[in-house]
Amino acid sequence: MIETAIVMGMPIAELRHGKADDVLRRFTDIVYETAAKVCGTVTVSKKDKKKCDVKRQPAMLSKLKVLKQDARRELRRIKRQGGDVISAHKLFMRAVRAHHDLVKLVSTNKQVKKDVQERRRFLQDPHVYAKLLNPPVSGKPQFSKEVADVYFKDTYRDPNRSFDYVPMADFPRPPLPNHAFDVDFASFEEFSDICRSRSNGSAPIKWNPVLAL
């Protein structure tokens, strides 16, 4: 039945001349859909899924945890009954440091594995991660265009832009320039070369009101 579904669902031209990834994906879908119709599917409950997701700790970590607990009990017993408290405390701290170092190492390995898995997912489908950079915009503005124009015009302006600041009398002044400032505007050719040399990131964006003003 699966062979019949493949023959009926995939043309010979697609098998011979199609891309390997597309053909394999289509082949897998046909096999899965046909097997699901004939054999049925099993729904995994959330409880079973949680049980499967729970991972056991490394055996050495469990042993060090038990060793730390035993060392703590021994230290408390020696404090109650009397004995070499210093040696018991050193043994307890040694067990604590060993357990802490292994926990830190296990956490680091988990993070490294997680990073590797994220990189694999990114390489398989970069477009999924690209959506995170451009989240969908929900909702619409509750104001008109005229209100927005007035708001940005009044917000991003400086009425005292031409104010003449006078330095203090005792404040030292910088030396005068040695060459006169060239006030002539660049020629059309020079201006065109300057514009072409700039990157696309330096171009103003239409929807940014700060750059548009």
Q: How sure is the predictor about 55, in pLDDT bands with cuts at 50, 70 and 90?
A: low
Determine the average pLDDT of the residues in 81-109.
Answer: 87
pLDDT surpassing 70 at residue 45: no
Backbone conformation region of residue 21, classed left if phi is above 0, alpha if psi is from -120 to 50, else beta? alpha
Read off φ and ψ for residue 185, nearest 5 degrees. Answer: -70, 150
Query: What integer pLDDT is reported at residue 10 of this predicted model?
Result: 72
Determine the average pLDDT of the residues in 82-88.
Answer: 86
Query: What integer pLDDT is reported at residue 201 of this predicted model?
Result: 62
pTM of the model: 0.36
pLDDT surpassing 60 at residue 85: yes
Question: What residue type is assigned to position 201 of the chain?
Answer: G
> What is the Cα–Cα distance from 134 to 128, expressed in whole angstroms?
11
Query: For residue range 153-173, what is the model confidence (pLDDT) as tens digits?
Result: 888 888 888 888 888 888 888
Query: What integer pLDDT is reported at residue 185 of this predicted model?
Result: 84
Distances in Å between the Cα of 114 and the Cα atoms of 53, 69, 74, 139, 176 are 15, 31, 39, 35, 61
DSSP designation for 161: T
Question: Would you give the end-to-end CA distance of the chain in angstroms?
Answer: 68
Query: What integer pLDDT is reported at residue 212 of this predicted model?
Result: 45
DSSP three-state, residue 158: coil
Q: How sure is the predictor about 54, in pLDDT bands with cuts at 50, 70 and 90?
A: low
